[in-house]
Amino acid sequence: MLRASVLERIAIAIVSTTLALVIGAGIVALSGYDAVEFVYSLVYGAVGELSNVAFTLRQSTMLILAGVAVAVAFRAGVLNIGVQGQFVVGGFAATLAILFLAPLLPGNALVGVALMIVAGGAAVAAGGAYAALPGLMKAYADANEVITTIMLNFIASGVVYFLLDAYLRPPGAAAPNTEAFPDYVDLPGFAFGSPSFSVIGFAIALLTVAVVYVYMTQTGSGYDLVTSGYQEPAAKYSGVDPNRMIVRTMTLSGMIAGLAGALFAVMILGYYSDPNTFPTFGFDAIAVSLLAANNPLGVIPAGLLFGGLDAGGQYIGFTLDVPSELVDGVIGLIVLFVAAPELFRAAGRYTGLGGDDG
């Protein structure tokens, strides 16, 4: 997959998605359900109406940001499985910034923008600091980053829930939620008119991808990061400190994850809640990054695909009497096919239809 061209990737994605839909429809039909209605609902739920498109873009926004966070680390040869935890910590830091500063300032749109910028900065700092911990442990204590980041996911959810429930739950509130953000702390929906999606949020995700791509391809520091992932001995020979690079990479990855958390709190929730109930964007982002071959630009179509499948799958869950396990299985089949391009490249070589590596 790493050697596939852009056109090959697009063709592979279209063919594999179509093939997976055909096979999935067959499984649905064999299970006794209407396969045509299933496929129609999956597509309609993703792009059938403006509100469905908004939901697809909302999910895609989070998956693109989290996917880039994962890709940065993977590209540098570091396995950051803790994006979910950094996402939680970042969103919580953004919430604290808004809730503690808002009462001290006048309530107007300008202050709202300022609060969101401060909240974003707090989330980036918190996410980066939280990700730096496993980076330091790996670099200077030889700790396995897979284990440490997974455990830090649980620690983040547990500690944030405790603080939320013990100190931030409004008096008399039954659910472990903070009070709602002021009305002026929100991103406008513009054409979509959705209360939980804003074009600005999607633009922030795309801008982040662009910044990361430029950093990794046009700067010396980014070149060192990528080189250390592919050729660590060569990077070390050229003067790159591998331990420092690990910490820097994890910190950068966590900063992006923290920004995703801030966007989730401001754009989607409008308050903060039990992190154990949050969507698993940080874990889903691993598949998004792998599908994109850890290329920051490739994360955009991969995130859109996953966002569309998520939206379509949830629409089926609300409208059709199809077991959620079957829906998840078919969607998983699509992801599996799309993420296994070598299967189709090998088939092309075997049948003489192309697929040479060069």
Taking only the tens place, the pLDDT of each residue in 98-107 is 999 999 999 8
pLDDT digits (tens, 9 = 90+) for 7-51: 766 777 777 778 888 888 888 899 888 889 988 998 999 999 999
Lowest mean pLDDT among 82-91, 109-118, 166-175: 166-175
pLDDT of residue 132: 97
Distance CA 177, CA 165 (A): 7
pLDDT digits (tens, 9 = 90+) for 120-132: 999 999 999 999 9
Query: Quick one: tokens of 214?
Result: 């430029």
- Mean pLDDT calculated for residue range 178-189: 93
Given a cut of 50, whether residue 192 has pLDDT beyond it is: yes
Across the chain, which distance is largest between two alpha carbons, in Å? 70
pLDDT digits (tens, 9 = 90+) for 66-97: 999 999 999 888 999 999 999 999 999 999 99
Residue count of the chain, please give it: 358
Distance CA 358, CA 355 (A): 9
Could you give the percent of the chain with pLDDT greater than 70?
92
Mean pLDDT of the chain: 88
Given a cut of 80, whether residue 179 has pLDDT beyond it is: yes
pLDDT-based confidence at residue 205 (cuts at 50, 70, 90): very high
Which helix (H) or strand (E) segment is 148 a member of?
helix 145-163
Our measurement of the distance from residue 155's CA atom to the centroid of its chain's CA atoms, rounded to an integer in Å, reads 20
Given a cut of 50, whether residue 170 has pLDDT beyond it is: yes
Query: Quick one: tokens of 181?
Result: 């953000």
Distance CA 223, CA 213 (A): 11
Question: pTM for this structure?
Answer: 0.89
pLDDT of residue 358: 39
Given a cut of 60, whether residue 342 has pLDDT beyond it is: no
Query: Which of 345, 260, 270 is closest to 303 using CA atoms?
Result: 260
How many other C-beta atoms can be found within 10 angstroms of the C-beta atom of residue 183? 10
Given a cut of 60, whether residue 1 has pLDDT beyond it is: no
DSSP H helical segments within 219-323, as ranges? 220-230, 232-237, 242-263, 281-291, 299-319
Query: Which of 29, 94, 271 is closest to 170 using CA atoms?
Result: 271
pLDDT digits (tens, 9 = 90+) for 238-250: 778 888 999 999 9
Beta strands in the chain (DSSP E): none
CB 249 within 8 A of CB 79: no
CB 59 within 8 A of CB 263: no
pLDDT-based confidence at residue 324 (cuts at 50, 70, 90): confident
pLDDT-based confidence at residue 152 (cuts at 50, 70, 90): very high
More confident site: 260 or 238 = 260
Report the SS3 class of residue 167.
helix
